[in-house]
Amino acid sequence: MANILREGDLELLSGKVAVVGYGSQGHAHALNLHDSGVTVQVGLREGSQSRQAAEEAGLSVGTVAEAVRGAQLVAILLPDQVQPRVYAEEIAPSLEPGAALLFAHGFNVLYGRIEAPAGHDVIMVAPKGPGHIVRRLYTQGLGTPALIAVAQDASGRARDLALAYGVAIGAGRAGMLETTFQEETETDLFGEQAVLCGGVSELIKAGFDTLVDAGYQPEIAYYEVLHELKLIVDLIWEGGLSYMRYSISDTAEYGDYMRGPVVIDKHVRESMKKVLANIQNGQFAKEWIAEMDEGEANLKRVRAEERAGRIERVGEELRALMAKPEAHGER
C-alpha cells in the first residue's frame, strides 16, 4: 500500500507565500494558509472582482507582480488556460531568486507550457476535491486529501516544502500521497473524462433519454437517474460499493450485479483504454491546447448545446420546487 503522509515542517514556510488567483482553489489555499499562520499575499489582476472578498476575509492583496515580489513560494492557482501567459508576463519577471513555484495540477508543467528556470523548486500540491470543500473541511478541523509531487528540486528540500504546504492547507489531516506531475495529470484527465464528468454525464443522459423516449414522464426519469445519483454516491463515498449495496434493496442489488455489466460492457472498457491512450500519447493535450489557442470555439458551442438540453430544462423546473440546503454560487 502507498505511503500516506501526514506531517510537514511548517518552519519551511516562514517567508511570504504568494497565492496568485482567488478562485475555487485560490481562496481555499489562501485562507487555509493564513489560518495556519503562514504569511500570505493574494495576487490579482487590476480590477479583479475578487479583491473585495479577499480583503474582507482579512488577507493582504496586491497585483500579481506585487505578491510575487518578496515571496519564497508562488502558488499558481489561475485557470490552466491563462497560466502560461500570466507566468511569462507577470510572475517570471518578479520571481525572487530561489523562489518555489507551486501548482495544483500538472498540465502546464508536464506539457512544457511553463518552464521554470533552473534554481527554482517546482512542486505540486493537488487537493483531490473542489476548492470550496478544501476550505469548508479545513474550518471544520478536517482536511481534503492531496497529491504531492516534485518536478524540479533546486533547494534539495522541494519535497519537504510540498509537504509543509500540504499540511498548511489541511491536507495532512486527510493524508497526502506522493506522485509525479505525469501520473497526477494523466490520471486526473482520465478520471474527469471517462468517469467523473464525461462518463457520468453521458450515463445520466443516456438513462434519461431511454426512459423518456420509451414514453415515461421526464420528471420521473429525472428523479430516477439524476437526483438519486447523489444519494447513491454519498453511500459509496461513505463506505464503498459494499456499503451502498448493503443499503439498497436486494432487488436493486441483484439488478446491479446482473445488469450493470450489460450496460458498462467490454466495449466501454475498450473505449476507456482508447481514451487513456489518447491522454498518454499527448493527443488530448495537443487538441486542448489548439482549442485554447483558437479561442475555444468548440468548447463554447458544445457548452451552449448541453445547457439547452432536455434534461437541463426538466431539472431546472424540478430543482426550483425542492428546498436546498445551501446556495451553490454563480453558474
Half-sphere exposure of 73 (CA within 13 A, CB side): 30
The dihedral of CA 182, 170, 173, 79: what is its sign?
Answer: negative
Q: Tell me which residue has cell 501520473.
A: 183
Q: What positions carry a catalytic annotation? A: 105
The CB-of-267 to ligand NAD minimum distance in angstroms stands at: 31
Computed on alpha carbons and rounded to an integer, the radius of gyration of the chain in Å comes to: 22
Judge contact between 101 and 74, C-beta under 8 A.
yes
The CB-of-196 to Mg ion minimum distance in angstroms stands at: 7
Which whole-number Å values give the CA distances from 50 to 24, 63, 74, 75, 78, in the listed order?
11, 12, 18, 17, 13
Per rule CB under 6 A, count of chain residues that contact ligand NAD: 22
Rounded CA-CA distance 130/136 in Å is: 10
Choose the contact partner of 282 out of ligand NAD, Mg ion, none; CB within 5 to 8 A by kind. none
Q: Which residue is nearest to ligand NAD (CB)?
A: 23
Q: Which residue is nearest to Mg ion (CB)?
A: 188
Among 102, 110, 124, 126, binds ligand NAD (CB under 6 A): 126
The dihedral of CA 112, 128, 80, 275: what is its sign?
Answer: positive
In the region spanning residues 131 to 170, those forming contacts with ligand NAD, defined by CB under 6 A, are 131
In the region spanning residues 13 to 52, those forming contacts with ligand NAD, defined by CB under 6 A, are 21-26, 44-45, 48, 50
Stretch that binds ligand NAD, among 52-60, 123-131, 148-156, 167-175 (CB under 6 A): 123-131
Choose the contact partner of 86 out of ligand NAD, Mg ion, none; CB within 5 to 8 A by kind. ligand NAD
Task: Indicate left, alpha or beta for 201 from its phi (over 0: left) and psi (-120 to 50: alpha).
Answer: alpha
The CB-of-314 to ligand NAD minimum distance in angstroms stands at: 27
Contacts of 265 (CB under 8 A, 6+ apart): none
Choose the contact partner of 21 out of Mg ion, ligand NAD, none; CB within 5 to 8 A by kind. ligand NAD
229 grid coordinates: 445519483
In the region spanning residues 46 to 105, those forming contacts with ligand NAD, defined by CB under 6 A, are 48, 50, 77-80, 82, 86, 104-105
188 touching Mg ion, by CB under 5 A:
yes
Contacts of 44 (CB under 8 A, 6+ apart): 21, 22, 50, 51, 54, 61, 62, 63, 64
Stretch that binds Mg ion, among 43-51, 186-194, 209-217, 225-233 (CB under 5 A): 186-194
Binding residues (CB under 6 A) for ligand NAD: these are: 21-26, 44-45, 48, 50, 77-80, 82, 86, 104-105, 126-127, 130-131
Binding residues (CB under 5 A) for Mg ion: these are: 188
